[in-house]
Structure 1
Amino acid sequence: MNEDKAPFVPYVNLHSDGSMEDAKPARVVSSCRLDIYTFPFDVQECTLTFSAFITVGTELKVFPSSTDEEITKVSKDVMTTLGEWELLDITSEKISHQHESEGHLIDELAFHIRVRRRSTLYVVNLLIPSCFLITVDLFSFLLPPQSVDRSSFKMTLILGYTVFLLIMNDLLPITGNTIPLINVFFCLCLALMVASLLETVLITNLLLGSKNLRPVPRWVRALVLRTLGGLVGLPWRDNKEADTRASPVSEQRRADGAPEEEKGPVVEDNALQELRSLGADLKVIRLQVEQQLGVSQSSEEWIQCCPQKIKSSVVLFIFISLFMHGSCNSIMPNCSRPDSLALLEALRPVFNLSSIRPVVNISTPTHVSIDFILVNILGVDEKAQILTTYIFQYLMWRNEFVSWNPTECGTKWLTVPRKLLWIPDVVINEFMERNLAQKPAYTYLSHNGTVFDAQPVRVVSSCRLDTYAFPFDIQNCTLTFNSYLHHTSAMQLGQIFTTEKILEFSRGMIKTKGEWELLGIAASINRLPSSASVGEHYDELRFFISLRRRSTLYVVNLLIPSCFLITVDLFSFLLPPQSVDRSSFKMTLILGYTVFLLIMNDLLPITGNTIPLINVFLSVCLALMVASLLETVLITNLLQGSSRQSQLPGWLRLIVINMLGRLVLLPPKSTQAVVQNPFTLEDMEAVSGRAGVGGALRKEGVVQQELRRLGEDLRVIRLRLEQEVAGGQSSEEWVQVGFIVDRLLFAIYIIFISASFLTISLIWVNS
């Protein structure tokens, strides 16, 4: 696939019997179909196929000079390095096959090389650290969520694991067709970590906010509390005492054997009235404390729910086209005997004319037929807009100076050095670099003057790439063949095969499964006016190559982690901001996502005209994360400092509370207190003034005086508690604004994530 950069050896050994021995080093860059499903414990088998590039098997045969065991032993002995790969064995295979219709022989010798990867590096640097981190995440379940911020711990762990995978990404194999098993392992580890984090967010929400939830539905109680709870060893026991909780006075009366009700008229004295007033205040205090602490049957049930490589047929097919007869005058060489030496001597006058176009009449154009076979797609550089391919280029034209009698000269064709013949100046317009492929030294010359030239070409061509739908994009690149100097009056272009045959041959030649897949090949021949000569035209043969990117690598390394992180940020809205520092959680998540984007930047395409859709998606994800962080800071400020805020403006109350609140299912709350104070201010003033009425105090007993004093203290405690828990009307409205904004951003998040996931899935399926 590339230039041989090994030192050149200019000599060969020539023996007395005519045998020759040639030895030279070669640096081989070859294509090989790799199966890395079991990476890093994989064994690969690659093939080096030796054959003549243009000479058929009736003229040249190849054989192995040593046995497979000798080749393997010598190779292992000279390999002094201990690198990543270990040589297992080398086997050879002699391949001789014939063309089905013509019977021409193709002779090849294939050496199969089996190598095994040394896996210690990958086990130590990849697998063991991953196992360590997933074990840490396992033990994090031992942290009590009710007293430790387990979500921040898990978020930091996911951040560390993501950075670890991104730094170690160069060690992982990159393929476009199959996913290595180790990549699946890493994705599952990350998915488990994300799932455990989401579970922690959910249980934290239930532990701290279950008091505001409705009672647990019966099907949830039966499925989760009873079935799953018994399965994981956490059976649920009904707490009937919470439903039938009686007042301390009633319990004491039952303990004393007193009846619940007394029949007949009851005469209430002043001490009994004070006790009832005191009991009413105690009930209000108890309800407020229970609401503040979340002690309820529904809360307990919700909390309980969640602790849980040319082919022979191609060569022969091309070679058939050599037998084409022309009607032009030519130089007829006379062979003194029917052998190749006599023919070569007779053709020397023709070889002396290699510097001019081979036509008898200068006004006769030379018809050059062009074709190619796409052997491999080496890569696409989106930044430089360059396509690198490896092709076999075929040219065929007629040399009118050549014609001989096959019977007299003993052969129909002859292989001659390329430098002895005129070669058309056919170039590829999109060529951007020097051809680094090895060039064969010979061409075929037929008895009727037809010349067949074939050579491999490593094409580095410019291509206008459209990466808007990256990584689900299809690229259309062009290879334009034309004469660099000759006009149509001197050279005219045509094709050897149809585009269907070219596509079939190309798909048969491409053995590797890299990032790009060949979809189709089309061709067109155009005659265009020359810009250098007025009235002249030139022919242009243009091939359109359609390629499709295999997107698995980018889905696994870019889209799935991004979806994981944005989902985590979505579920972070379940963390109650009044009890958990949600802003620190979101800041850690933004830090991890930013590091992820910076390290994955080399995978993203860079173009000057359009912005790829994936870049927009990643930018919007980051923008939503930042917006959610700012919203969290705002709502935290409102929750902690709403008591110091001025009264909510009317227009803000109308837009946010009355309109947006109903839109997000958070309607305005009633201004009426939940529990009314059964006593008025006049009653309290009367009670507080009783100490000044000496005559009445002297008429009542000591017990009644103590009860009154106790009642006054309890009323003051109740008023202070109501002010702490409920706050003022302005404070409640500001807090309501914060919750409405939080719910609105949560709904926007859900709409964006659903639309993004659906769009990505549809584009992936359609591509």
Structure 2
Amino acid sequence: MMILMAFIRYPGIQDSTWFAGLTFFQLIFTCLIMQSLLLASVAPLNCSEPTTKSLLMAIREEVIDYSDARPVISLKTPTNVTVDLTLYGILGVNEKSQVLETYLWVRTRWQIEGLTWDPAECGTKKISLPREKIWFPDIVINEFMDENRAPDTYYVYVTSTGQVIDGRPFHIISSCKLDIYTFPFDFQNCTYTFNSYKHSRDDVQLFFYKPVKDIFKESLDLMTTKGEWELIDMLAEKPVYSFLEGAWDNLIVHIVLRRRATLYVVNLLIPSSFLLSLDIFSFLLPPQTVDRASFKMTLILGYTVFLLLMNDLLPVTGNNLPLINVFFSMCLALMVASLLETIVITNVLCGSRNFPPLPKWLKILVLKYMARLVCMRKSSDKHSEANRSEPTLYKNMMTNVPKKEQVSASPVTLSDLYLEEMKKISTDLLAIRHHIEEHFDNDSSSDEWMVFAQVLDRLFFMLYMIFVVVSLSTIMFLWLHSYNLDKRS
């Protein structure tokens, strides 16, 4: 400053030799001195007495009268705004509308350049002022889908160093891309993007007030809701737009949520597993009666009513189909397939008398090879031996019946009346013999169809069990694989 004053007061030294004598470092030193003098020219507020009235009058002249523009000495200087938030509650997730409802407390801080006061002279370190009386940044959350339903706050704090502290509650209904493929064991990653609505990063720059780990820990300690969702993690990032000019500065906060699956396991998965187990054990009922078919129909009806009652617990979304819906559809399809199998087997057992004899190739394929495959070979052998022995036994018995010629050739030892009666009895016995032979021929064919139905019933049961095990194992594998992927991401 003394050099400049000498330069102005004595024009005679304004020659080229003086400028040539100045080195580069002397010029830098001169510029630094001038900058420090300009900053020092911003004097602190002068309070006539340590009262609120005196402080307000001083602030009104320096701050309130200039609240229409950013509080900086030079408009080329950006205003640094720090953002701090606390997640107080997770109010709900709507899968159909793809929205997340939470309650946040957001605190922002920025500096009013040139505003300072002496706490001892003015009587306080901070003062609360109406928000509309000072300039504040228009920080918004881009994911907002509805108006803020939290109560309004009308005051901000201004400290003796010129820092403004603004705290506001937010009841946020925000958009969130939900993935419910692994429902009810799903994770959701929702984001909050903070930025200025009008000011570019040349005017307003955003920063986090503290590390996101501290934000996450504080949110866990202060969270008041213990509902369906729990907070797992919070992540933060600040995108860099070094290649763009006039872009908006952003802060992105990721909120990782996990659904509490106990309610859905108890109310949906366990009852479905019980009903499917009952359908499996229903194969122990005898297929020749209608008890098995009626039991399976009752199971299907009960499972349908169960799905209708539990429909409100299932998510509705158009992105993809949850695995739990595939599980329910598979259980219902298995029950229907087992009922159709019972209908086929019952039809074969009850209508076997009207069927033609079992073809030889089918008899060899089913009664010999398939019976051995399903561990029923001994039963089919015993049944076939019984069919061969019983007609022979009855035929041998009927051969002892005297024929008509023998009756007529017997010596006459009784009266003619007795003779005629014996002839009638012989004729009746011959007719009965023919009927019995036909009956045993039909019984042999019917028994073969019955054994055929029993072998098919055992085969269908084994295929049913294999399909149940494979289907459930596949769904469980997809569930675990997707769950681990969501957990790592």
Do they fold alike, i.e. is TM over 0.5? yes
8 A Cα contact 2:323 2:475, kept in partner: no
Query: Larger % of helix: which?
Result: 2
For the 8 Å contact 1:379–1:389, the answer to whether it is kept is yes
Gap change, CA 1:654 and 1:444, over 3 Å in 2: farther
Confirm or deny: 8 A CA contact 2:401 2:429 kept in the other structure. no
Q: Conserved in 2, the CA contact under 8 Å of 1:356 and 1:422?
A: yes
Q: CA deviation at 1:748?
A: 3.4
Counterpart code for 1:446 = T
1:748: which partner in 2? 466
- One of 293, 297, 309 as aligned partner of 1:587: 297
1:330 touches 1:403 (CA, 8 Å); kept in 2? no
Candidates 365, 389, 408, aligned match of 1:676: 389
| Contact 2:395–2:437 (8 Å) recurs in 1 | no
Equivalent residue runs for 1:219-258 within 5 Å: none
Provide Cα deviations, 1:201-222, integer angstroms capped at 9, x if missing partner.
Answer: xxxxxxxxxxxxxxxxxxxxxx
Q: In structure 1, what is the Cα distance between the partners aligned to 2:105 and 2:442?
A: 85
Q: Hey, what's the Cα distance between the residues in 2 that align with 1:654 and 1:418?
A: 94
Over aligned residue pairs, what C-alpha RMSD do you find?
Answer: 3.6
Asked if structure 2 preserves the Cα contact closer than 8 Å seen for 1:335 and 1:346, the reply is yes
**Cα shift readout 1:110-159 (whole Å, capped 9, x = no counterpart):** xxxxxxxxxxxxxxxxxxxxxxxxxxxxxxxxxxxxxxxxxxxxxxxxxx
Give the CA deviation at 1:565.
Answer: 1.5
SS at match of 1:544: strand
Say if 1:757 and 1:375 are closer, same or farther in 2 by CA, change over 3 A.
same
1:506-525 pair list within 5 angstroms: 506-525=219-238
Paired residue for 1:608?
Answer: 318
Paired letter, 1:689 = K
Matched residues in 2 for 1:329 and 1:388: separation? 50
Matched, 1:483 2:196: yes
**How far is the alpha carbon of 1:415 from its aligned partner?**
1.0
Q: Following TM superposition, by how much is the alpha carbon of 1:588 offset from its aligned partner in structure 2, in angstroms?
A: 2.0
Are 2:181 and 1:468 aligned? yes
Q: Distance in 2 between matches of 1:328 and 1:636?
A: 103
Hey, what does 1:339 align to over in structure 2? 51
Given that residues 573 and 746 in structure 1 are in contact (C-alpha distance below 8 angstroms), is that contact kept between their aligned partners in structure 2? no
Please name the residue that 2:10 is paired with.
Answer: none
Paired AA for residue 455 in structure 1: R
Q: CA deviation at 1:660?
A: 4.9
Quick check: 1:443 aligned with 2:156?
yes
Structure 1 counterpart of 2:77: 364
Alignment of 1:202-351 (within 5 A): 330=42, 332-349=44-61, 350-351=63-64
- 2:457 maps to amino acid: F
- Which residue does 1:537 correspond to in 2? 247
Take 1:680 and 1:640, find their aligned partners in 2: how far apart are those partners? 25
- In the alignment, the residues of structure 2 paired with residue 594 and residue 529 of structure 1 have an alpha-carbon distance, to the nearest angstrom, of 59
Per the TM alignment, residue 614 of structure 1 is displaced from its structure 2 partner at its CA by 0.4
Residue 575 in structure 1 maps to residue 285 in structure 2: yes
- Is this contact kept in 1: 2:349–2:450, CA < 8 A? no
Tell me the CA shift for residue 621 of structure 1. Answer: 0.4
Q: Aligned partner of 1:623: which letter?
A: A
Q: Report the TM-score when normalising by structure 1.
A: 0.51
The secondary structure found in structure 1 opposite 2:171 is: strand
The within-5 A match list for 1:704-715 is none
Distance in 2 (alpha carbons) for counterparts of 1:374 and 1:692:
111
Distance in 2 separating the partners of 1:475 and 1:697: 106
CA shift for structure 1 position 409? 1.2
**Structure 1 position 738, deviation (Å):** 4.0
Aligned counterpart, 2:106: 393
- Give the structure 1 partner of residue 24 of structure 2: none
Q: Would you say the 8 A contact 1:657–1:740 is kept in 2?
A: no
The CA distance in 1 between the partners of 2:346 and 2:311, in whole Å, is: 34
How far apart, CA to CA, are the structure 1 residues paired with 2:163 and 2:402? 126
Match runs of 1:382-421 below 5 Å: 382-421=95-134
How far apart are the structure 1 equivalents of 2:466 and 2:396? 51
Q: For structure 2, which runs of at least 5 residues remain unmatched after alignment?
A: 1-38
Q: What amino acid does structure 2 have at the position aligned with 1:748?
A: I
Q: What SS is found at the alignment partner of 1:637?
A: helix
Determine the C-alpha separation between the residues in 2 that align with 1:524 and 1:663: 63
Q: Distance in 2 between matches of 1:618 and 1:559?
A: 9
Give distance in 2, aligned partners of 1:366 and 1:559.
Answer: 55
Residues 453, 593 of structure 1: CA spacing in aligned structure 2 closer, same or farther, 3 A cutoff? same
1:380 equivalent in alignment to 2:90: no
Query: How far apart, CA to CA, are the structure 2 residues paired with 1:508 and 1:622?
Result: 45
Which residues of 2 match residues 63-74 of structure 1 at below 5 A? none
Q: Distance in 2 between matches of 1:756 and 1:566?
A: 16
Task: Report if the CA contact (8 A) 1:570-1:750 is conserved.
Answer: no
- Report the equivalent of 2:3: none
The residue number in structure 1 matching 2:21 is none
The corresponding residue for 1:354 is 67
Q: 1:718 to 1:425 in 2, by over 3 A?
A: same
Classify the secondary structure of the residue corresponding to 1:591.
Answer: helix
Q: Tell me how far 1:352 sits from its aligned partner.
A: 2.0
Residue identity over aligned pairs, in percent, reads: 43
| 1:692 Cα deviation after fit | 3.4
Q: Would you say the 8 A contact 1:475–1:546 is kept in 2?
A: yes
How far apart are residue 560 of structure 1 and its match? 1.6
Q: Is the 8 A contact 1:471 1:551 kept in 2?
A: yes
Name 1:598's counterpart in structure 2: 308
- Does the CA contact (< 8 Å) of 1:330 and 1:400 recur in 2? no
C-alpha displacement at 1:737, in angstroms? 5.5
- Say if 1:432 and 1:461, in contact at 8 Å, map to a contact too: yes
After superposition, the Cα gap between the structure-2 partners of 1:357 and 1:329, relative to the gap in structure 1 and judged at 3 Å, is farther
Shift in Å, 1:640 = 1.0
Cα shift at 1:511: 2.8
Q: Which residue matches 1:628?
A: 338
Question: What CA deviation, in whole Å up to 9, does each residue of 1:576-609 have, x standing for no partner?
Answer: 1212332222222212211211221121112223
Cα distance in 2, alignment partners of residues 454 and 750 from structure 1: 57
Q: Which residue, out of 379, 392, 403, partners 1:689?
A: 403
- Number of the residue aligned with 2:32: none
Residue 512 of structure 1: CA displacement?
Answer: 2.9
Partner residue of 2:349 out of 634, 639, 647: 639
**How far 1:698 sits from its partner (Å)?**
5.8
- Cα deviation, 1:517-574, whole Å, max 9, x if unaligned, reads 11111111112379xxx63333211111111111111112111221122122122211
2:449 to 722, 731, 735: 731
Letter in 1 for 2:461: R
Counterpart of 1:473, as a letter, is D
User: Contact 1:657/1:736 (CA < 8 Å) preserved in 2?
Assistant: no
1:501 aligns with 2:214: yes
The runs of 5 or more residues in structure 1 that have no matched partner are: 1-326
Distance 2:143 2:167 in 1: 20
Task: Map 1:1-20; keep pairs closer than 5 Å.
Answer: none
User: Residue 481 of structure 1 aligns to a residue in which SS?
Assistant: strand
Question: Normalised by the size of structure 2, how large is the TM-score?
Answer: 0.78
Question: What secondary structure, in the 3-state scheme, does the structure 1 residue paired with 2:241 have?
Answer: strand
- CA 1:740 to 1:329, structure 2 compared with 1: closer, same or farther past 3 Å? farther
Alignment of 1:692-703 (within 5 A): 692-696=406-410
Number of aligned residue pairs: give it.
Answer: 434
Matching residue's letter, 1:501: D
Given that residues 356 and 445 in structure 2 are in contact (C-alpha distance below 8 angstroms), is that contact kept between their aligned partners in structure 1? no
In 1, Cα distance between equivalents of 2:361 and 2:445: 22
- Summarize the alignment of residues 557-576 of structure 1 with structure 2, pairs less than 5 Å apart: 557-576=267-286
**Deviation digits for residues 310-343 of structure 1 (CA, Å, limit 9, x no counterpart):** xxxxxxxxxxxxxxxxx79757432111111100
Between the aligned partners of 1:725 and 1:328, the Cα distance in structure 2 is: 119
